[in-house]
Amino acid sequence: MNVKPFTISYTRSPVDVQFVNQCDVLEDENLTDDNKVQKTVKNRDKNNEGKKKEEKYVNYKVEPKRRTTKSPMSPPNELLLKNGETKNETKKNGIISNDEESLKEDATEERETWGKKTEFLLSVIGFAVDLGNVWRFPYICYRNGGGAFLIPYFIMLIFLGLPLFYMELALGQYQRCGAISIWNRLCPMFTGLGYGICFVATFVGMYYNTVIAWAVYYLFASFRSEVPWSHCNNTWNTANCVSVVDGYNVSHVTNDSMLAATEFYLFRVLEDQKAYGIERIGSPKWQMVLCLIAVFVIVYFSLWKGIKSSGKAVWVTATVPYVVLLILLVRGCTLPGAKDGIIYYLRPQWDKLLKVEVWLDAASQIFFSLGPGFGTLLALSSYNKFHNNCYIDAVATATINCFTSVLAGFVVFSVLGYMAHTTQKDIDKVAMEGPGLVFMVYPEALATLDGSVFWSILFFVMLITLGMDSTFGGLEAVITAIMDTFKIVKGRREWLVLGVIIYCFLGSLPSTTNGGQYIVSLLDRHAAPIPLICICFCEAIAVNWFYGVQHFSNDVQSMLGFQPGIFWKICWAFICPICLIVLFVLSIYYYDGIELNGYVYPQWSLAIGWTISCTSLICIPIYIVYLLIVTPGTFKQKILRMIRPSSIPSHVDQDKSRHLYDKYEISSSNVGTTVNTPVSYNAEAISMYSPYQVDNIQDKNDSV
| Full DSSP string of 521-534 | HHHHHHTSHHHHHH
Taking residues 479-508, report their average pLDDT. 93
Q: What is the mean pLDDT of the chain?
A: 79
Taking residues 406-414, report their average pLDDT. 92
Taking residues 291-315, report their average pLDDT. 93
Residues 79 and 89 sit within 8 Å (Cβ to Cβ): yes
Q: Tell me what pLDDT residue 84 has.
A: 35
Confidence check: pLDDT of 653 > 60: no
The string of pLDDT tens digits covering residues 173-232 is 999 999 999 999 999 999 999 999 999 999 999 999 999 999 999 999 999 989 999 988
Residue 215's contacts (CB-CB under 8 Å, 6 or more residues apart) are 438, 460, 463, 464, 467
Residues 691 and 673 sit within 8 Å (Cβ to Cβ): yes
Count CB atoms within 10 A of the CB of residue 676. Answer: 24
Parse the chain into domains and list their residue ranges: 111-621
Residues 616 and 163 sit within 8 Å (Cβ to Cβ): no
Phi, psi (deg, nearest 5) at residue 557 = -65, -40
Residues 268 and 236 sit within 8 Å (Cβ to Cβ): yes
Taking residues 485-509, report their average pLDDT. 93
Residues 275 and 290 sit within 8 Å (Cβ to Cβ): no
Taking residues 318-337, report their average pLDDT. 93
pLDDT band at 356 (very low <50, low <70, confident <90, very high): confident
The string of pLDDT tens digits covering residues 42-75 is 333 434 444 443 333 333 333 333 333 333 333 3
Best-predicted range by mean pLDDT (34-38, 107-111, 148-152, 696-700): 148-152
Taking residues 382-408, report their average pLDDT. 94
Q: Tell me what pLDDT residue 151 has.
A: 93
Q: Tell me what pLDDT residue 276 has.
A: 87
Confidence check: pLDDT of 78 > 90: no
0.85 cut: is pTM over it?
A: no
Residues 132 and 369 sit within 8 Å (Cβ to Cβ): yes
Which CATH topology does 111-621 take?
Amino acid/polyamine transporter I (1.20.1740)
Residue list for the binding site: 126, 128-129, 133, 369, 401, 466, 469-470
Q: Tell me what pLDDT residue 251 has.
A: 67
What is the separation, in whole angstroms, between the first and last Cα of the chain? 11
User: Which of helix, strand or coil describes residue 130?
Assistant: coil
Phi, psi (deg, nearest 5) at residue 290 = -65, -40
Residue 92's contacts (CB-CB under 8 Å, 6 or more residues apart) are none
Residue list for the binding site for Na(+): 126, 128-129, 133, 369, 401, 466, 469-470
Strand ranges inside 63-114, DSSP E: 90-92, 95-97
